Structure 1
Amino acid sequence: MIELKQKYTSIGGWEEEPKPLQSALNKDINADVVIIGGGLAGLCASLELVKSGLKVVVLEKEFSGFGASGRNAGYLGGALGLKYDLFLKKTGTEGAKNVVDFYEKGVDFAENIFKEYTIDCDYIQSGLIRAAIHESQEKSIRNDMKLGAELGCETEFLDHNEMRARGIPPAFLFGSYISRGGTLNPGKYIQGLRRAAIQAGVELYENTPMVSFHEVDGTVKVKSPNGSVSAANLILANNAYMPQLGLLQDRTVPLRVSAIETMPLSPTQLNALGWYNREGITTAHHIMESHRLTARNTLVCTTKKLHYVYGSKTPNEPDFGQYRALKIAIQDRFPMLKDISIKSCWSGYISYANDALPVVGTMGRHKNIYYAAGCAGHGLGTQGMIGNFIAKKILGYEESMLTFLMANKTPRTLPEPLRWCVLNGALFAASRLDEQVNRKART
């Protein structure tokens, strides 16, 4: 516990705060488009808009990458691991195929961004594995593989021998493998986007929270503590922080996710570990674990448990209960790394809707206020793509996938205190079921 308290970092473990920060807004200005949020969606939208000569202003409360865009596990995974059953019945088979195609194209979008803006983010195109840690998880994996294939996500089953031939650590018995995508450093990715946006002429103001916005005669005016931006269009790209702005409170909830990173592994430890291709691994638990090796030869483990904070709040604080659970997961899955020290631990928030689909739409009398949230933990490729789609719509181009997402009617969330009780009750029950599997695996 003492070690974990000493290793907690409030801004995530991938990158340091960029220096120098862009100055805060301290005047009243005009723009063609103002974007709130300097994450993946906001920056990708700004890059597309500025190409067409528009004046684009991005306001960021902290710094670009402060939220989930810079704190996630770094999995560019397409449709692998989606909860197909949460949206299949609602959208129908053809609609579900569109959803799967959307997530698959998110991989291509991100890979193209890396190339277009020469972003070195330690991307390893290794593919990903959804693995079992106990024989009882085989049915779930095979059912998901079958359904995924019907919807357009083709995966390959790796049996015990094939997993060992790849050097996958023995705790992961078998699993489904997808060759698309891989792992990256999300901190380097978002900072690469930040540099590209600044160089392209996007006006980025950091340490600049939005206080309020209102629409008058087709113009949206956004106020910050010491200035304002008036623009023809507004994009709200705050994801999990949207409810704290008084927006989407009845359709999305922020869930706290945590991560833990070990100290760098020695050559001897790496050799004992195997894992030659460094595929990203997620488990078939109800609340998955994710395990991956980084370019700096550390091991990162994320998720394990989820938590909802009352009132959809997003306090930037540690969750030592989750860090302890993650450390136990590392000890369970990698006994050959006994007594390895922890380098850092951190927490952040994902935005989640009841149907596990992105929440995208417009508001305002002139429908010139756009919003994007609901990444559901799968936004590394898709959130940037949604920002790009919104930018193209502002420029007059129609994207069929954006039209499909905007037409989706997101289910309502429960009011408080029912929301807190039901959500955390369900998450607790899922954790108990996962722990039963863990105990079986240990024996």
Structure 2
Amino acid sequence: MDLEDKFREIGGWEEKPKNIQAELRDDISADVVIIGAGLAGLCAALELVKDGSKVVVLEKEFAGFGASGRNAGYLGGALGLKYELFLKKLGNEAAKNVVNFYEEGVNFAEKMFQEYNIQCDYNQSGLIRAAIHPSQEKQIHEEIRIAAELGCSLEFWNNSKMRAKGIPSAFLFGSYIPRGGTLNPGKYILGLREAAIQAGVKLYENTPLISFTEGAVINVKTPNGSVNAPNLIFASNAFTPKMGVLASTIVPLRVSAIETEPLSQAQLDALGWPGREGITTSHHIMESHRLTARNTLVCTTKQLRYIYGSNTPNKPDYVHYRALKNALNERFPFLKDISIKSCWSGYISYANDSIPVVGTLGSSSNIYYATGCSGHGLGTQGMVGHMIAQKIQKKDENPLLSFLMAHKNPSTLPEPFRWCVLNSALYAASRLDEKVNQKVKGL
């Protein structure tokens, strides 16, 4: 299995924009400076410029280079959340707020598609969290029960329903959420990028943050310029700890993906799957499988890895790519000879309690941050950026933002304990998942 020549240093959805915006090479001022041109940063910028604010966005690479353009493209609402953990840690009412937050993220993203006429191959098919072995049925039913208690309505699709819907036979039964669906995240983030440029947002790409000085007016330094502004938003997600912010609160976890070459018509006919619903498995560390608008299969996750010191190297992970190819072969054995078109990796930001990390820093409380979406941020990260922008504009504060900003996320362990504990836990979860996979092979 030769994957060595398939690695992409950028996500597999889109190519690097042709109209890369110039690096900052001056000392300028703004009303708000935003670090990171992903979903949170661009949605914040788009809201801010509506009232005439002068907005500067600084991006180390190009808009969408990080998780916003590398994810699996699932607009999933509250499907697959850790409902039981939220109940245990937060209690019923606060757990309902978390679930509502993720559900509202679907509404927000769909609104952005329409408002800015973004064509991102959105398939409003709903999503499935599927079992691959009968032993997972109890877990699926329990998730549906708790989700309903917290305000998220999931349907149980038994084996007959799955077969009637044409879902590939490896997925036996599961929970289905009718809201949301799948999309091309590269097209979504590039659509936001173009909208921001057209709206007058000053986007500087190839412009990393060097340092910042807090105060009533914040000074942000870059290699060849600086920005003074009364407000700063860190919208840098998994890269935030390496900027000296939230290093004890979130950790970046490496996630990988593979994409096949386009399927032939005969292969598509054999596959079925007419609704093209996005599927995640009910493993401890899920697999995700989806059929794209360009008739390729994309398989992601399966393994997670923490890099020592919260580092985020943009390097291939061939062990993970091979594990994903094996998963693809196991779920779709009749496609075992299909070629892999590309593989890539990226980083999600993870908080100890799986609650998004949103708040302010500095003596003037004018440094905002939004991170810790734990792999569920396609709808919510843009929404948080939008809500922070409204707070800066002194509009009525969204109750969901108030809830998140009041929540105190627990600290992570210091190194080297963090590396040892996190990777030990991830390894143990992988071993449990492999036991389930072995049971499937034995059927």
Aligned to 1:374: 372
Aligned to 2:427: 428
Aligned to 1:19: 18
Q: Tell me the distance in 2 between the aligned counterparts of 1:197 and 1:146.
A: 41
Aligned to 2:267: 269
1:296 paired with 2:294, answer yes
- SS of 1:4's partner is coil
Q: Tell me the distance in 2 between the aligned counterparts of 1:88 and 1:393.
A: 28
Tell me the alpha carbon deviations over residues 385-422 of structure 1, each in whole angstroms, 9 at most, x when there is no partner.
00000000000021111110001110110010010000
Aligned to 1:40: 39
Letter of the aligned partner of 2:86 in structure 1?
F
Aligned to 2:343: 345
Contact preservation (8 Å) 2:128, 2:176: yes
Letter of the aligned partner of 2:40 in structure 1?
A
Aligned to 1:188: 187
Tell me the alpha carbon deviations over residues 372-393 of structure 1, each in whole angstroms, 9 at most, x when there is no partner.
1101000000000000000000
Q: Tell me the distance in 1 between the aligned counterparts of 2:84 and 2:372.
A: 17
1:58 paired with 2:70, answer no
Q: Tell me the distance in 2 between the aligned counterparts of 1:262 and 1:439.
A: 24
- SS of 1:414's partner is coil
Aligned to 1:311: 309
Letter of the aligned partner of 2:175 in structure 1?
S
CA shift at 1:52, angstroms? 0.4
Aligned to 1:211: 210
Q: Tell me the distance in 2 between the aligned counterparts of 1:337 and 1:168.
A: 15
Aligned to 2:102: 103
- SS of 1:5's partner is coil
Q: Tell me the distance in 1 between the aligned counterparts of 2:167 and 2:214.
A: 55
Contact preservation (8 Å) 2:84, 2:146: no
Q: Tell me the distance in 2 between the aligned counterparts of 1:258 and 1:141.
A: 25
Aligned to 1:221: 219
Q: Tell me the distance in 1 between the aligned counterparts of 2:310 and 2:85.
A: 22
CA shift at 1:191, angstroms? 0.1
Q: Tell me the distance in 2 between the aligned counterparts of 1:78 and 1:344.
A: 28
CA shift at 1:135, angstroms? 0.4
Aligned to 1:383: 381
Aligned to 1:284: 282
Aligned to 1:87: 86
1:164 paired with 2:163, answer yes
Q: Tell me the distance in 1 between the aligned counterparts of 2:159 and 2:357.
A: 39
CA shift at 1:86, angstroms? 2.4
Q: Tell me the distance in 2 between the aligned counterparts of 1:331 and 1:10.
A: 25
Contact preservation (8 Å) 2:328, 2:336: no
CA shift at 1:338, angstroms? 2.3
Q: How many residues are matched?
A: 441
CA shift at 1:89, angstroms? 1.8
Instruction: Select between 83-92 and 227-236 the one with higher mean Cα deviation.
Output: 83-92
1:328 paired with 2:308, answer no
- SS of 2:78's partner is coil
Q: Tell me the distance in 2 between the aligned counterparts of 1:421 and 1:10.
A: 28
Alignment TM-score, normalising by the size of structure 2: 0.99
For structure 1, list consecutive stretches of 5 or more residues without a partner in the other structure: none
- SS of 2:122's partner is coil
Letter of the aligned partner of 2:122 in structure 1?
Y
CA shift at 1:88, angstroms? 1.7
Alignment TM-score, normalising by the size of structure 1: 0.99
Letter of the aligned partner of 2:271 in structure 1?
L
Q: Tell me the distance in 1 between the aligned counterparts of 2:262 and 2:133.
A: 28
Instruction: Select between 288-297 and 84-93 the one with higher mean Cα deviation.
Output: 84-93
Contact preservation (8 Å) 2:255, 2:346: yes
Letter of the aligned partner of 1:280 in structure 2?
G
Letter of the aligned partner of 2:259 in structure 1?
E
Which 4+ stretches in 1 moved above 3 angstroms?
A: none
Q: Tell me the distance in 2 between the aligned counterparts of 1:276 and 1:118.
A: 26
